[in-house]
């Protein structure tokens, strides 16, 4: 097997792999704790991938970083990861209560056991407890990853609570980070918060895999499959993609979906049935070599979501120089791709037409400008916020 690093237009390496940057700061007495994520490493989810890429780089700069993990999602016995301390908290598996209960426990432990100076809260749901962290004397950094109340999986009560979480985080956090211009405009208009720091999601350097044994296991050929990945939730819109692919004029390409549900529900079960009945290949949740292999050999990447913050899966596909087709929603429009890359997310016939048109051409790599998604730059920007709070 051969692994190759694909060069991009970035002036600095995007990788968070083996060699971390030289330490810039030495603040061993200042403790930073992180909550709002299920944990790291190798746990499914956009925020989880974000934290896995970011915090080893921040720890390498001399910060004492602890990431709280939800124990039911953990499949390892790690107590640290690339310089980041991991702290597992038992949690209930309930999509309505899990996050709020875990965040409450994390804040309490951060204050009374870890003596944390800064708590970094990710996502608007956990941000509802920002005032508690402030009352306990900790400084709060809140990263807004997107308006989760727009997700189809939530009912009216949950959406109401998420809106309160967004308002609370924006009003009471010492510093707010947004991952896109779209989110920045939302909080300026709704909460008059004009001092938020725009810090994008990052993308690691691609690792090209020449070996195709995994493709053989799946029964697919290099450049002869359409690829997508994500959690099995309604807003990822995989059901529309599957139906669109069944309408294609060609039968040469197969559809491969990597991912799974965090908590099995009626939607995820129906999606799997739809996929199996239409010959779609489901890999389950995969990382590292298997994921790198599928990205290295895909013929086309499609992101059909109806809701995103700043899609990490899309950025990763772009780092592998794959041609992409994505839904025409504000979060995806900010990536600023050519118009023929976009389709209306609920129009499966339009998506079929775009796919058919793309597949009439032979595969050719596309070089995208990913400079602003450089993890090293993102880590530097985040540590500047921590330093400012520490000086205060």
Return the structure tokens found at 146: 């997107």
pLDDT band at 96 (very low <50, low <70, confident <90, very high): confident
pLDDT tens, position by position, 229-264: 999 999 999 999 999 999 887 788 999 999 999 888
pLDDT band at 23 (very low <50, low <70, confident <90, very high): very low
Beta strands in 90-154 (DSSP E): 118-122, 139-144
How do strand 27-35 and strand 63-70 relate by DSSP bridges? parallel
381 alpha-carbon distance from chain centroid: 18
pLDDT tens, position by position, 162-220: 999 999 999 999 999 999 999 999 999 999 999 999 999 999 999 999 999 999 999 99
The answer on pLDDT for 8 being more than 50 is no
pLDDT tens, position by position, 338-381: 999 999 998 999 999 999 999 988 899 999 999 999 999 999 99
The answer on pLDDT for 11 being more than 80 is no
| pLDDT at 261 (0 to 100) | 92
Backbone angles phi, psi at 283, to 5 degrees: -95, -15
| pLDDT at 19 (0 to 100) | 45
The answer on pLDDT for 29 being more than 80 is no
CA triple 230-232-233, angle to 5 deg? 105
| pLDDT at 7 (0 to 100) | 44
What CA–CA distance (Å, rounded) separates 371 from 248? 35
pLDDT band at 284 (very low <50, low <70, confident <90, very high): very high
| pLDDT at 95 (0 to 100) | 77
| Beta carbons of 180 and 145 less than 8 angstroms apart | no
| pLDDT at 155 (0 to 100) | 85
How far is residue 379 from each of residues 37, 55, 248, 374, measured CA to CA in Å?
Answer: 17, 8, 43, 9
Domains 7-203+372-391 and 207-369 share a fold: yes
What CA–CA distance (Å, rounded) separates 294 from 291? 5
DSSP state of 360: T
Across the chain, what does the average pLDDT equal? 90
| pLDDT at 262 (0 to 100) | 86
| Beta carbons of 352 and 334 less than 8 angstroms apart | no
pLDDT band at 3 (very low <50, low <70, confident <90, very high): low
| pLDDT at 66 (0 to 100) | 98
Quote the CATH superfamily of domain 207-369: Glycogen Phosphorylase B; (3.40.50.2000)
Hunting for tokens 């609920």 — which residue is that? 346
What CA–CA distance (Å, rounded) separates 87 from 68? 5
Backbone angles phi, psi at 108, to 5 degrees: -65, -45
pLDDT tens, position by position, 104-154: 999 999 999 999 999 999 999 999 999 999 999 999 999 999 998 888 778
59 Cβ contact partners less than 8 Å away, ≥ 6 residues apart = 65, 82, 83, 84
The answer on pLDDT for 9 being more than 70 is no
Q: Could you confirm whether domain 7-203+372-391 is CATH 3.40.50.2000?
A: yes
| % the chain with pLDDT above 70 | 93
Domain boundaries, the chain: 7-203+372-391, 207-369
């Amino acid at each position: 097997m051969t692994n190759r690093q694909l060069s991009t237009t970035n002036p600095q390496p995007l990788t968070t792999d083996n060699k971390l940057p030289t330490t810039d700061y030495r603040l061993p007495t200042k403790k930073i704790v992180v909550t709002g994520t299920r944990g790291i490493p190798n746990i499914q989810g956009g925020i989880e991938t974000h934290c896995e890429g970011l915090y080893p780089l921040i720890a390498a700069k001399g910060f004492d970083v602890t990431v709280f993990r939800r124990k039911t999602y953990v499949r390892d016995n790690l107590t640290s990861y690339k310089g980041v301390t991991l702290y597992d908290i038992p949690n209930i598996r309930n999509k309505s209560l899990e996050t709020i209960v875990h965040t409450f426990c994390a804040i309490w432990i951060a204050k009374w056991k870890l003596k944390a100076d800064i708590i970094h809260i990710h996502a608007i749901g956990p941000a509802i407890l920002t005032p508690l962290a402030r009352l306990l004397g900790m400084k709060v950094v809140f990263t807004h990853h997107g308006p989760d109340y727009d997700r189809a999986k939530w009912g009216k009560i949950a959406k109401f609570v998420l809106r309160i979480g967004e308002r609370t985080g924006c009003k009471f956090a010492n510093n707010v980070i947004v991952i896109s211009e779209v989110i920045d405009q939302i909080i300026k208009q709704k909460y008059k918060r004009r001092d938020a720091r725009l810090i994008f999601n990052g993308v690691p350097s691609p690792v090209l895999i020449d070996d195709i044994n995994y493709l053989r296991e799946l029964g697919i050929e290099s450049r002869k499959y359409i690829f997508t990945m994500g959690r099995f939730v309604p807003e990822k819109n995989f059901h529309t993609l599957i139906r669109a692919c069944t309408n294609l004029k060609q039968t040469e390409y197969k559809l491969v979906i990597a991912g799974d549900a965090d908590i099995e529900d009626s939607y995820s079960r129906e999606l799997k049935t739809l996929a199996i009945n239409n010959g779609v290949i489901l890999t389950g949740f995969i990382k590292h070599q298997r994921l790198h292999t599928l990205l290295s050999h895909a013929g086309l990447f499609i992101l059909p979501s109806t809701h995103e913050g700043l899609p990490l899966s899309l950025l990763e596909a772009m780092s592998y120089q794959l041609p992409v087709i994505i839904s025409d929603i504000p979060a995806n429009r900010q990536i600023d791709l050519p118009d023929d890359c976009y389709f209306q997310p609920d129009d499966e016939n339009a998506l079929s037409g775009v796919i058919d048109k793309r597949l009439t051409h032979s595969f050719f790599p596309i070089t995208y400008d990913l400079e602003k998604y450089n993890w090293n730059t993102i880590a530097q920007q985040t540590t500047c916020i921590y330093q400012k709070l520490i000086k205060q």
